[in-house]
Chains A and B, each alone.
Chain A
């Protein structure tokens, strides 16, 4: 988290020219260094692949695995849930296996690992690695996946079935998304410029992240999830509703559940992919809903669009804004689209943030908005 905070405050982007795969497309990506040289420990070799390696690296950041283990010891393995979001899980490993098919079109023997060639691979790996015995599931709703995990975990906690939940998610670079988004003509040749009048599409990235959720009494100084909103656009599989119908429903639902009004919101981490349509719709929604004093930005100029990991990555950034009283701007962008209101900031700001939202929208018209509030401050 300190590396992320440093990159945000010093405005250093993680994007680089695409160097992923044999014949890289002409675009920019957010690529994590060192994954190729970091195989999983032998105990977990069946799950080895880029996405689970990335998750393993993330689990070992910021003492997360120690905190998670302590929670499991405190409450018992069966009283801790695991809800993880991913869009493509470890399909990168399946792509690799298909490049090495035997002459009679079978997977090579070393790739006959059911653990890795399925949607639930990430979740089953983390479940085994942490020894979680409570309810465990993958939410795979494209780019809203690891935002919706917070809603699912909140319901599990509310039900009394568990006492803690580990949430998060991960998505790694793979041919499916690079060539798939390219086929949809949504990828920019230049580093993405969210909300810029001349934006030309998104930059893809990879990330994994985790959070430990407990009831408020467990730590009154910790930031709190106070609301979540989930909705569907009911409009189109790969384009947002032109008036932002579903995005607005998710936003209103999150605020209502939190008992907040738009005027209470200090900062919004926007979905802001830098696609023409998403940013136009989201900018108009923010402009018509929030006070001019609310700050809003997209941080995808730093990270790229990490797809199913965007929810957890941007939740972490949203929580950093509360903790560090700091709002990242919108990196790479120069001139804001006329649809933007006064809320969207290009520059970083130092500002006391008490209430912050994070927006995540995905294919299928799938929307999620999370509302967070600062914990007790001394």
Chain B
């Protein structure tokens, strides 16, 4: 009854303190190479003008960096791509600042921090930096955000017969929000998904499964261990299969009662 969506991954981007691009991620996922994480590192996406690269919130830097990486690997001009930016929590440090300021001295709320607090700020900065006037979406689905974003982006690509860009990211909780948000790491993944692609990084087939909830991938790579509580890192199962060139089905949680069965198809020759 359920139809499957078959789609190519034309490009991948990744940023975490241990793996700042796909090559470093392959090393971490295949050979478990330890790259000393440096939590003070920030992404520095060259697509942003220097002043914005300096001032932008970390959520923007993460989302934009992996988006740029994925487009460059796919060899697709960013301005032609509808995009979906997916984050469970948005920019937690800004939310902490806003709530703290509102509690103390509400008239001092910074207008720039306020407009940077919207969930679609990274998508907005991306569209401005790349001159992209295509559909621009920002989503959240709690712990299931990566799966929901993968499905949403696949459907955007399928509905146009073209390619679409996914950027999923989450940043560490800040202030009192740490009491309710477990996410304590920086992790972002970008994917260009295309219905047609001559030289994909991988091909996948996505089917919905309501029968059972997905377990987190048990394979304990360095990245899995460091980002267990980062919702964007629910992508690691797919990334590991691709990095290791291991076809098979990866189960990606997409809701409390919904799993995406993502089949990694043999694509290399």
Cβ–Cβ contact A114 & B148, under 8 A: no
Partner-binding segment picked from A34-42, A94-102, A213-221, A321-329? A94-102
Task: Point out the residue from A118, A123, A175, A237 that lies within 8 Å of B128, measured CB to CB.
Answer: A237
Binds B, one of A66-74, A176-184, A269-277, A281-289: A176-184
Question: With a CB–CB cut-off of 8 A, which chain B residues contact A176?
Answer: 98-99, 102, 109, 114, 117
B95 within 8 A of A: yes
Query: Which among A114, A140, A142, A236 has the highest number of chain B CB atoms within 10 Å?
Result: A140
User: With A140-B119, A184-B115 as given contacts, are A179 and B106 in contact (CB-CB < 8 Å)?
Assistant: yes
Given A141-B138, A155-B156, A236-B128, A133 and B123 touching (CB < 8 A)? no
Q: What's the least CB distance linking A47 to chain B, in Å?
A: 12
Minimum Cβ distance to chain A for residue B206 (Å): 9
* In contact, B123 and A78 (Cβ under 8 angstroms): no
Please indicate the chain B residues that have their CB under 8 angstroms from the CB of A182 in the complex. 107, 109
A135 CB contact (under 8 Å) in B90, B179, B254: B254
- Residues of B near A13 (CB, < 8 A) are none
Residues of B within 8 Å of A105, CB to CB, are 175-176
Task: Tell me if A148 counts as interface (CB < 8 A to partner B).
Answer: yes
B128 to chain A, nearest CB (A): 5
**Is A52 an interface position by the 8 A CB rule?**
no
Q: Does A360 interact with chain B (Cβ within 8 Å)?
A: no
Chain B residues near A224 (CB-CB < 8 A): none
The answer to whether A118 touches B140, judged by C-beta atoms less than 8 angstroms apart, is yes
Q: A100's closest neighbor in chain B, by CB? A: B103
Are A117 and B142 interface neighbours, CB within 8 A? no
Q: Are A137 and B139 in contact (CB under 8 A)?
A: yes
- Do A364 and B123 touch across chains, with their CB atoms under 8 A apart? yes
Give the complex CA separation of A184 and B109 in angstroms: 10
Minimum CB–CB distance for B9 against chain A, Å = 18
Number of chain B residues whose Cβ lies closer than 8 Å to a Cβ of chain A: 69
* Chain A proximity mask over B137-151: 1 for CB below 8 Å, otherwise 0: 111111011001101
Q: Contacting B118 at CB < 8 Å: which of A107, A151, A236, A363?
A: A363
The closest CB in chain A to the CB of B82 belongs to: A230
B111 at the interface (CB under 8 A from A): yes
Task: Confirm or deny: A345 has a beta carbon within 8 angstroms of a beta carbon on chain B.
Answer: no
A298 sits at the interface (CB 8 A): no
Answer yes or no: A366 CB below 8 A from chain B CBs.
yes
Does A362 belong to the interface (CB within 8 Å)?
Answer: yes
Chain B: minimal CB distance from A149 (Å): 10
A139 part of interface (Cβ distance < 8 Å): yes
Residues of B with C-beta under 8 A to A139: 137-139
> B120 on the interface (CB 8 Å rule)?
yes
The listed residue with most B CB atoms (<10 A of its CB), out of A77, A91, A111, A236, is A91
Known: A106-B176, A245-B133. A78 touches B100 (CB 8 A): no
Q: Is the CB of A231 within 8 A of B114?
A: no
**By the criterion CB–CB under 8 Å, are A364 and B120 in contact?**
yes
- For residue B162, CB closer than 8 A to chain A, the reply is no
**Given the complex of chains A and B, what is the CA–CA distance between A134 and B152 in angstroms?**
13
Complex interface residues of chain A between 241 and 264 (CB less than 8 A to chain B): 245-246, 249
A181: which B residues are within 8 A, CB to CB? 114
Assess whether A142 is in contact with B118, with CB atoms less than 8 Å apart: yes
Chain B CB within 8 A of A87 CB: yes
B89 CB–A CB distance under 8 Å: yes
Contact between B133 and A246, CB atoms less than 8 A apart: yes
Mask, B148-166, CB within 8 Å of A = 1, is: 1101100110110000000
Q: Which residues of A contact B139 (CB under 8 A)?
A: 137-140
Task: Name the A residues within 8 Å of B127 (CB-CB).
Answer: 232-234, 364-365
Binds A, one of B192-200, B220-228, B239-247, B255-263: B255-263
Which of A91, A136, A181 gathers most chain B CB within 10 Å? A136
Q: Which residues of A contact B106 (CB under 8 A)?
A: 23, 175, 179
Within 8 A of A (CB), among B212-241: none
List of A residues within 8 angstroms of B130 by Cβ: 234
Distance A107 CA – B176 CA, assembled complex (angstroms): 6
A156 partner residues in chain B, CB cutoff 8 A: 155
Cβ distance B139 to chain A, nearest Cβ, rounded Å: 5
Distance in angstroms between the alpha carbons of A141 and B257 in the assembled complex: 26
Hey, which chain A residues are within 8 Å of B159, CB to CB?
Answer: 155, 158-159
B32 on the A face (CB < 8 A): no
Cβ–Cβ contact A237 & B148, under 8 A: no
Q: Is the CB of B89 within 8 A of A119?
A: yes
Tell me the complex Cα distance, A245–B79, Å: 15
B46 at interface by CB-CB < 8 Å: no
Contact A98/B155 with A87-B118, A91-B95 known, Cβ cut-off 8 Å? no
On chain A, the residues within 8 Å of B118 by CB distance are: 87, 140-142, 362-364
Is A117 a contact partner of B177 (Cβ separation < 8 A)? Answer: yes
**In the complex, A97 Cα to B254 Cα: how many Å?**
29
Give the one of B82, B132, B208 with max A CB within 10 A.
Answer: B208
12 contacts between A and B (CB under 8 A): A98-B100, A118-B181, A119-B119, A120-B142, A133-B210, A135-B148, A137-B140, A142-B119, A161-B208, A180-B109, A185-B111, A364-B127
Task: Show the binding face of A for B, using Cβ within 8 Å.
Answer: 23, 77-78, 87, 91, 94-95, 97-99, 101, 105-107, 111-114, 117-120, 123-124, 127-128, 133-142, 148, 151-152, 155-156, 158-161, 175-176, 179-185, 230-238, 245-246, 249, 362-366
The interface of chain B, by Cβ under 8 A from chain A, is 2-3, 5, 79, 82, 87-90, 95, 98-100, 102-103, 106-107, 109-111, 114-121, 123-125, 127-128, 130-142, 144-145, 148-149, 151-152, 155-156, 158-159, 175-177, 179-181, 208, 210, 254-258
